[in-house]
Amino acid sequence: MSSKQLLFGTGGIPRSTKGTSSVLGIKRIRELDLDCMELEFVQGVRMSENGAKNVLEAAIKEEVALSVHAPYYINLNSYEEEKLKASLERIYQAARIGSLCGAESIVLHAGFYQKSSKKQTFESVSKALRILTRQLQDEGIPAVLRPETMGKRTQFGTLEEVLELSAEIEGVMPCIDFCHLHAREGKENSYQEFTKILSRVEECLGKEGLSNMHMHISGVEYGKNGEKKHLNLKESDFNYPILMKTLKEFKTRGRVIIESPILEQDALMLKQLYNEI
């Protein structure tokens, strides 16, 4: 991946793909002149090692950068030993198969506060991620775990929480989901606020934080408890033109993964908007 640019792509295979395989999705990304794609392992890691090799070959041939979204059924703050073990195993498998596909970034939803304090939850998540990064390192799996900023207030994943984990643990970097940050409090939607977010990334993680960003963007419907559902960008109140302007000013590099219902249409719109600034 060139660090001289910002890459735009889709969360999952484009809607216009003729078929449902990741390989066909990668070819479609290239046809559309997009740059990257997130492999959605959200219902479980169902890809074989052989399948992963085919995906890797397609990604290299088409010059499409890949990342992975780990399964949703994860809670690194679970009080039940079995559930915690299962969560660790799901992230590990996503990283193992993902790296065979050539994907380095493994996005994950870390968990829920439940009855714990924010501090206790942070400690549980931090401990689990340390175990995982050590295991991946020991096995020579070149994966970066990316806890995502989350859109519901019951979920672990404020901007500060993911930045603190990333600053503390080698092999952990943030996935900044801007619509989740917006939905969580109904704020984070102006030039000043976007500037503040990117400044915090740089403060906590240095220049590398801005040159190796992984972002999710979509429209979002939200209420008093935060995120309800994703919307197409033009049907939402999300201020994406100003976000593109701010990303350009900060010279951010890395990937923008679009998660709106009309995946590639919004991805192409954002790419064009960004390039015209």
What confidence tier does 125 reach under pLDDT thresholds 50, 70, 90?
very high
Sorted by where each begins, the domain ranges of the chain are 6-276
User: For residue range 199-220, what is the model confidence (pLDDT) as tens digits?
Assistant: 999 999 999 999 999 999 999 9
Handedness of CA 214, 178, 167, 202 (dihedral sign): positive
pLDDT tens digits for range 177-192: 999 999 999 999 999 9
pTM of the full predicted structure?
Answer: 0.97
- Chain mean position to CA 106: 7
Tens digit of each residue's pLDDT (9 = 90 or more) over 38-53 = 999 999 999 999 999 9
What average pLDDT does the chain have? 97
The yes or no reply on domain 6-276 and CATH 1.10.10.60 is no
Position 2 pLDDT exceeds 90: no
pLDDT band at 1 (very low <50, low <70, confident <90, very high): very low
Per-residue model confidence (pLDDT) at position 14: 98
| Cα 90 to chain centroid, rounded | 16
Average pLDDT, integer, range 237-245? 98
Q: Which amino acid is at 131?
A: I
Beta bridge partners of 7: 255
